[in-house]
Amino acid sequence: MDALKAVIAARELLAQVTPLKQDCGRYCGGACCQSDEDGQGGMLLFPGEETLYRDLPEGFSLMRDDAVLKNAWLLQCEGFCNREDRPLSCRLFPLLPTRTGCKMDWRGWAVCPLMAHGKTGLNPAFTAAVKEAGKILYSCEEHAALLDAIHQYNEQLKQF
């Protein structure tokens, strides 16, 4: 599948379903939407997704970033957005698709209180949607490359 079509389909699967049946942001003050202490941060966009932000909603900006994958796009925000503007990275968090299902995203340990409960603490409908999104994403070489790179990055994080 074409990268843009795949990311749109994955976003759609995660348009309504959330990590908990209630708004999990109420428990942590929306920790994953806050920037780092140095004001840095941003959400890694999936290949093709940057085209959905050509007409950037107010408060968003785009920049290139090589931290996980060379020449990837980061979307920066001001800590608030409309649900329909959320990039796929935010819709998947704190899960990450794998080639066979999904796992907790190690990057979540820095911010997300749901990490301690693991997958069993999450809304089953959310987990199922992430797995479905993963099937779509892994059917596209570009998305598979990004996901593999994020998993490699997470393996490095585990060393610290």
Kindly compute the dihedral angle of the four CA atoms of residues 127, 66, 3, 48, in this order, to the nearest 10 degrees. 110
Convert 56-79 to b/e letters by CB count within 10 Å (16 or more is b). Answer: eeeebeeeebeebbeebbbbbbee
Smallest distance from ligand SF4 to CB 160, Å: 20
Binding string to ligand SF4 for residues 34 to 53, with x set by CB under 6 A, is what?
Answer: ---------x----------
Largest CA distance in the chain: 39
Stretch that binds ligand SF4, among 49-57, 80-88, 117-125, 127-135 (CB under 6 A): 80-88
Taking CB under 6 A as the criterion, the residue among 79, 101, 121, 124 binding ligand SF4 is 79
Site for ligand SF4 in 91-120 (CB under 6 A): 93-94, 111-114
Could you give the CA distance from residue 67 to residue 58 in angstroms, rounded to a whole number? 25
At its nearest, how many Å lie between ligand SF4 and the CB of residue 141?
Answer: 26
